[in-house]
Amino acid sequence: MFRDAICRIFIFLIHFWLWIEYIVIKILPSSLIRPQVESACRLDAENKGIVTVADARFYTQVASKSLLGLCESYKKGWIRVIKLEKMFENILRNEVTDNLVVKYKEFLDYLEFDLFRVKMVEPIYDSAKIVIIQIFSCFPLDAEVTALICGSDILVSCALWLSPSDTLDTAQANKMASLALQLRLTRGMRILEIGGGFGSMAKFLADKHGVHVVTTTTLREEVEFAKRNCAGSSVDVRLSDGKNLLEKVEKFDRILAIEVLEHVWRTDYADFFSNISQYLKPEGLFVLQCNGLNDSKMGNVNGFNPGVRFPYLNELITATQGHFVLEELKNIGPHYEKTWQAWASNFAKGRKRFAEMRGEAYCREWEFATALMATLSKLGMIQEVLISYLSNETTFMIGSLTLLVLTVILYKKCFHGSYELTMDCTQLGFENVGRDGFKGLKKRVMINELRKRREAVGGYPNPYPNGWFRILDSAQLLPQESKEVNVLGLNLVAWRGPSGDVFVADAYCPHLGAHLGVSSRVLELPNVNLKMWETREIDDTIYLWYHADGQCPSWYPESGLSNTEKNYKCRSIVSVQIGCLIQYGPGIQHTRANTPTADIKLLISFTPRDFMLVDFTAKIYMSPWVTNMTVKSFADVFVNQLTRDIRVLNRKQYMSKPVLLSEDKTITKFRRWYNQFYSASKDKKIKKNEEELEF
């Protein structure tokens, strides 16, 4: 009480000093005051044609009350302004605030509102009954009237403008979706929202994300409206006194506070964050959205609303120490300019109604305030920050488990993991191309020309065999994502539905021919006649069934990778006809072995892109206890040999009637066996009792 009395005495003395100052200014001749005010307000420069002084009392008012005096002069009609935002921009862009008189005014504001006011015993945010009123007490408390200004969601906070076509309602919906994403919600979580206003954010989180929300506010009018607004949703609306958020401490998975900290005073920040930390679970997340300052040009406080104070970032960092750990900080301040402008536009549409309710002076003060805030946001003098905090208990748990985590990582590094190598091998074997002939052509053009010459020779088997072909790895296709697939001379589109099933169809829309796999995602599939392709997803691989005659699958691939975990995937592109590649490919019959020390499986797939271009994919699977060094060594040997083979295959010519020795009789048998997979070769299928090759 003694400290409170001392502070009140000092505030009285400051007010007394300001009264004396006002009397002195009124006595002084206008020839001394007028030049100073015109210079500070840029009336003799950039604002000369924008501001017109209609009453000489304007100079005395501004000289004695600074910005508040400028507002009162505009409210009373002592000045006429063509464009308020332009006037403020001209004033604030120039260094008039470095003037000694202006700094003296800022110092007095600091003494009254920031030094002595905060030392009162009763915390400021105990009586923070202006949560909805925001900056300048210019928002009405009536929900229906506020909706005329702030949009259908009645959110009196910064919106998020993501597109030039966004309306205020769209931008506020963007903000709610962005906050929900930052909260990292899962169904069934309990959320505490501080300063929930009319309940729109709580309703959005409960309805869209399946969470239970407890939202608090300090105004009975808001509680009554929020209960009606959130009827039928999993939302609990409670009245709070500001200091004690709830009657008793409860634990929540997430806590959200949108533009509440502005009503908490500097010395109460530590208590505010300490209070919140009591309600957050150890693994919880706290998201704070608030206005902030990086500049003191306008002073941290002013006479517009003594109950509002914009924090500095360093004050927040200091106040949260010991309670939270900063996870992410984002400045969305540029969006506030558009938000204030949208509110001002809506206010202008209903100005006649507001003038009847509150009077012309109220409307002019509202216009002054919104224009000033829009300009401050535009110039970055006021920022809107979005901060994510982790519970301090979470970081303690992480620190205590660091040694265990490092041990697990070391173990996984030695005994777990997968490797992937992707190569474009289409130029292997063409190293000497370009030295002779093809003058003036690029190497890629020369290689394509040589490939066409090989195609023109003739004697090749039919382009594509019937069977199952690998088109994608499972990890390459996310839920509700579409991807372009070009295989077997076809243009296809693959997508994964919400259930996780994979679908493949012809890529071109039958409506106007748009490619469905380019810059698209799955929203809805109308009833159109798309050609669908049979698919199977096995061993983290997506397979497509192809048959030249459109017949259904006669067999299905099966999984054979049980008891294996490690894998090394090698993918390359080979310039050769698929029949040649399979005939020349790895001779599995030469590598059979029974090994008691390791279970090694080799999964090889060949998928033609077109007639002379084949995707070759090899996956090497090993037992989980085999070290990574062993997997890597085995794979390196495989890749080394593969690149040597591809160098030959890229320049290989298919011989329909090769010259063979007696020892090469298996080549003929292989070709006869392989021809059964071509539709045009049905009559050449080997008989059931004829000798078959085994692999």
Q: 382-426 pLDDT, tens per residue?
A: 777 777 777 665 554 444 445 555 555 554 554 445 555 565 666
* Six-digit token string for 342: 């949208």
> 3-state DSSP call for residue 140?
coil
Whether residue 197 has pLDDT greater than 50: yes
Per residue in 257-311, pLDDT (tens digit) is: 998 888 787 778 888 888 888 898 888 899 998 887 765 444 444 445 556 778 8
SS3 353: helix
- Whose tokens are 């002592």? That residue is 78
Confidence at residue 126, expressed as pLDDT on a 0 to 100 scale: 31
Residues 473, 541: contact at Cβ < 8 Å?
Answer: yes
| Domain assignment of residue 688, yes or no | no
Q: What is the CATH number of the domain that holds 583?
A: 2.102.10.10
- Res 519 pLDDT > 80: no
Least confident of 15-29, 61-75, 173-187, 333-347: 15-29
Q: How far apart are CA 213 and CA 191, in angstroms?
A: 5
Q: Considering the domain boundaries, does residue 692 fall inside one? A: no
Whether residues 207 and 99 fall in one domain: no
Q: Does residue 682 surpass a pLDDT of 50?
A: no
Separation in Å, CA 186 to CA 192, 205, 254, 264: 14, 11, 10, 31
What residues contact residue 538 under an 8 Å CB cut-off, 6+ apart? 557, 558, 559
CA distances to 73, 118, 243, 286, 529 from 125, in Å? 31, 11, 7, 19, 63
> CATH number of the domain that 251 lies in?
3.40.50.150
412: in domain: no
Q: Measured between alpha carbons, how far is 282 from 278 in angstroms, rounded to an integer?
A: 10
* Cα-Cα end-to-end distance for the chain: 94
Q: Which of 268, 279, 274 is nearest to 311 (CA)?
A: 268
Residue range 474-514, pLDDT digits in tens = 878 887 778 888 888 888 888 888 778 888 888 887 777 77
* Complete DSSP assignment for 577-599: -HHHHHHHS--GGGS----SS--
pLDDT (0 to 100) of residue 231: 92
- Judged against a pLDDT cut of 50, whether residue 693 lies above it is answered with no
The pLDDT of 646-667, averaged and rounded, is 71
Residue 446 inside a domain? The answer is: yes
Instruction: Name the DSSP class of 508.
Output: B
* CA distances (Å), origin 496, targets 266, 342, 440, 559: 52, 40, 46, 21
- What pLDDT was estimated at residue 12? 72
Q: Is residue 260 within 8 Å of residue 253, measured between CB atoms?
A: no
Q: What pLDDT is recorded for position 188?
A: 92
Rounded-to-integer distance, Cα 310 and Cα 266, Å:
9
Residue 441 pLDDT level (bands cut at 50, 70, 90): low
**pLDDT the model gives residue 191:** 94
Per-residue pLDDT, 690: 40
Residue ending a domain, among 399, 432, 454, is 399
- Locate 611 and state its tokens: 């007639």
Computed over every residue of the chain, the mean pLDDT equals: 73
Same domain, 82 and 186: no
Asked if residue 252 has pLDDT above 90, the reply is yes
Give the per-residue pLDDT at 233. 93
- Shared domain check, 434 and 377: no
Residue 609 confidence (pLDDT):
78
- The answer to whether residues 127 and 108 belong to one domain is no
Q: Are residues 299 and 176 in the same domain?
A: yes
Retrieve residue 122's tokens.
Answer: 């009763």
Q: Are residues 324 and 197 part of one domain?
A: yes
- 162 with 249, same domain: the answer is yes
Out of 118-122, 164-168, 663-667, pick the least confident: 118-122
Residue 186 confidence class, pLDDT cut points 50, 70, 90 = very high
Write out the residue range of the structural domain in which residue 244 sits.
123-399
Give the integer Cα–Cα distance in Å for 481 and 605. Answer: 24
- Considering the entire predicted model, what is its pTM? 0.52
Domain ends where: 79, 114, 149?
Answer: 114
Higher pLDDT, 112 or 657: 657
Beta strands in 266-339 (DSSP E): 280-293, 324-331
The answer on pLDDT for 214 being more than 80 is yes
Whether 235 and 104 share a structural domain: no
- Predicted confidence band at 236 (pLDDT cuts at 50, 70, 90)? very high
Query: What's the whole-number mean pLDDT along residues 34-56?
Result: 80
Same domain, 292 and 354: yes
Confirm if 300 and 95 have CB atoms less than 8 A apart: no
Domain presence at residue 22: yes
Q: Are residues 153 and 219 in the same domain?
A: yes
Predicted local distance difference test score (pLDDT) of residue 127: 29
pLDDT in the model for residue 525: 59
> Given this model, what pLDDT does residue 107 score?
56
Q: Is residue 291 in some structural domain? A: yes
Lowest-pLDDT range of 201-205, 466-470, 545-549, 688-692: 688-692
* 212 pLDDT higher than 90: yes
Report for 137-141, 305-309, 567-571, 687-691: range of highest mean pLDDT: 305-309
pLDDT at 187: 92
88: phi then psi, degrees, rounded to nearest 5: -65, -40
Domains: count for the chain: 3
At 554-612, the pLDDT tens digits run 888 877 665 455 455 555 555 555 555 555 554 444 445 555 555 667 677 778 877 66
Q: What is the predicted pLDDT for the residue at 687?
A: 39
192: confidence class by pLDDT, cuts 50, 70, 90: very high
Q: 633 in a domain, yes or no?
A: yes
Q: Note whether residue 415 is domain-resident.
A: no
Q: Could you tell me what percent of the chain has a pLDDT over 70? A: 63
Token couple for 386 = 């979005």
**How high is the pLDDT of residue 161?**
92
Both tokens of 624, joined, read 């989980």
Highest mean pLDDT pick, 33-37, 102-106, 205-209, 569-573: 205-209
The pLDDT score that the predictor gives to residue 183 is 92
Whether 394 and 484 share a structural domain: no
The answer on 310 and 328 residing in a single domain is yes
Which tokens sit at 499? 């259930």
Percent share of the chain, pLDDT over 90: 11
Residue of higher predicted confidence among 682 and 631: 631
pLDDT for 11-23, tens place per residue?
A: 677 667 777 777 7
User: Of 114, 137, 155, which residue constitutes the final position of a domain?
Assistant: 114
How much is the pLDDT for 193? Answer: 93
